Structure 1
Amino acid sequence: MDFSSLAIEHTIGIGLILALLAWNALTEEAGKAAIRDPAQPDARLRIYNKAMISLWLLAIACMVLWLRSGTTLPELGLRAGGGWRTLLSWAIVGAISAYMVASLLQARFSRTARTRLREQLSQPGDYGLIHPETPREHRRFIWLAVTAGITEEILFRGFLIGVLSLIVPLWLAALLAAGIFILGHAYQGVQGMVGLLPITGILTLVYVVGDSIWPAIALHIVVDVVAGLLFRISDQFADADAEAGIAAASP
């Protein structure tokens, strides 16, 4: 690794990203305790707000550092792209987005699909910090999903891959950035992080193949927004589905 290729601004940016991940890990248990505390009914909303603020501040800081290092925003991936690679990237985004929307519609209109969804959500994996429960939390989660889709792609795909590729081959830079991204979701537990592997790989592939960060941003937003809507549908129909299941089982 030729660390001499890194500008001081690159090193600071990586340090800031790792510092945020460390801070999130250190405050994770306190956040979960606050959510469980009946005296703090808005605890999850505060966690959402802090996450959005910290992600935007970090993304802006890393973009400023990137520019100060002598590189441009298009080199960060904030470019339109072009050619067959970009078209392929957008095609992947379109196909997965269509699948996600179809899954959402199926959950909305099928009790069987909602039952399977609840079984999946009950599998090992800690979603307590992010699973919205009240109408306000569901609405705020959508804003968090959009924020994460934009800022996390800038940080973990654009910035980290761009910086790490200065000292290691591109494929290794992409793997390292993907690993750091997954570690940033350690609050979901080991099973939750394992569950992130497929979409993390797809987001990384979409960015590297498309030579633009916009397709990855679009897909990330779709995935997170649909996840939030699936949470909402699952909770909204929980009582009705339970009653329907009891009625169906009755002789």
Structure 2
Amino acid sequence: MSVSIWSYSMLVITLAIPLYCVWEGDKTQRNVISGKQTRLEAYASTMVLLWVPTLYLLVGLYGKQISTAELSLVWVGSANNWLGALGVLVMAGYFSLNLVSTNNARDTHSTLEAQLEHVAWLMPRSSKELTCFTLGVSLSAGICEELLFRGFLWFLMSPFLGLWPALLISSLLFGVAHAYQGWLHVVRTSIMGLVLGVILWLTETIWIAITVHALVNIYGGLLAYIVISNSGRKQASCVTKFPFNRI
């Protein structure tokens, strides 16, 4: 890929994402918690933030500024491709079984709820929110973030920095783009970015990384929905049985 004007502009747009997330900080979180913004509105703004730069990337792809091979948007049917697909099926099966187990093991919900506390404000609570989160936000994040950070950014920097240093930097930027979760989770998300990069490298296609990324997000949303919904029903039941708010 030649470093053209489009490449520079695409780079600026991609780097603007983590910078914007740091600048905004926890503004969206405060707005959702205070009621100034609904979760559905937060989901919509997140998808806009993801798809605007991705559409510009696709414009470059259509205009041959970058190729599908350079973005790793290929599927040649190699052994690595199919092993990656098999791994995705195993992961999907594991997530499904774990969700069923979690739904039945109500005694574990308090522990899980504590673990989800840092993103509880964003997690879906109604069926409409769940649909928007899983089919909208989760799929958008899987597609857009992988194309931007693992596809474009990693490939652009590799000739100048080397394969693995470029992956490290792109993963750190990917982590910073999740600054709204807190800096501890920026580190965790950066590590997740490294893992997704290794998956791309091993499977020789970004499609597997996209699917894994989306599955992880969908699983997180479903898990939170199960835990938070059951917690809400339990609290409602307690209020019904022990209406302390009555005079």
TM-score, normalization by structure 1:
0.83
Note the residue ranges of structure 1 that are not aligned, 5 or more in a row. Answer: 245-251
Q: Deviations over 1:149-171 (max 9, x none)?
A: 11111111111111111212112
Contact 2:124 2:224 in 1 (8 A): yes
Aligned residue pairs total 236
In the other structure, the counterpart of 1:105 is: 100
Give the stretch that moved more between structures: 213-222 or 70-79.
70-79
Secondary structure at 2:70's aligned position in 1? Answer: helix
Indicate yes or no: 2:20 matched with 1:23: yes
Indicate yes or no: 2:133 matched with 1:138: no
Q: Deviations over 1:15-72 (max 9, x none)?
A: 101112222322233322321324x3x4322221111122112111123235556431
Which residue of the other structure, out of 27, 34, 38, is the alignment partner of 2:31?
Answer: 34
Indicate yes or no: 2:74 matched with 1:79: yes
Q: How large is the Cα RMSD of the aligned pairs?
A: 2.5
Q: Deviations over 1:160-216 (max 9, x none)?
A: 111111212112222211111111111110222233355323211111111111111
CA distance in 1, matches of 2:156, 2:216: 26
Residues 15 and 131 (structure 1), Cα distance of their counterparts in 2 relative to 1, 3 Å cut: same
Indicate yes or no: 2:4 matched with 1:7: yes
In the other structure, the counterpart of 2:148 is: 155
CA distance in 2, matches of 1:68, 1:163: 17
Give the fraction of aligned pairs with identical amino acids, expressed as a percent: 26
Which residue of the other structure, out of 85, 89, 99, is the alignment partner of 1:90?
Answer: 85
In the other structure, the counterpart of 1:247 is: none
CA distance in 2, matches of 1:239, 1:43: 18
CA distance in 2, matches of 1:67, 1:240: 50
Contact 2:71 2:152 in 1 (8 A): yes
Secondary structure at 1:173's aligned position in 2? Answer: helix
Give the stretch that moved more between structures: 183-192 or 17-26.
17-26
CA distance in 2, matches of 1:70, 1:23: 25
Give the stretch that moved more between structures: 190-199 or 74-83.
190-199
TM-score, normalization by structure 2:
0.84
CA distance in 2, matches of 1:176, 1:81: 28
Contact 2:175 2:188 in 1 (8 A): no
CA distance in 2, matches of 1:63, 1:164: 19
CA distance in 2, matches of 1:197, 1:70: 28
CA distance in 2, matches of 1:240, 1:29: 28
In the other structure, the counterpart of 1:186 is: 179
Q: Deviations over 1:64-89 (max 9, x none)?
A: 23555643123211111332222332
Residues 190 and 28 (structure 1), Cα distance of their counterparts in 2 relative to 1, 3 Å cut: closer
Which residue of the other structure, out of 184, 192, 196, is the alignment partner of 1:203?
Answer: 196
In the other structure, the counterpart of 1:44 is: 39
Residues 13 and 176 (structure 1), Cα distance of their counterparts in 2 relative to 1, 3 Å cut: same
In the other structure, the counterpart of 2:243 is: none
CA distance in 1, matches of 2:230, 2:161: 49
CA distance in 1, matches of 2:15, 2:167: 16
Give the stretch that moved more between structures: 181-190 or 92-101.
92-101
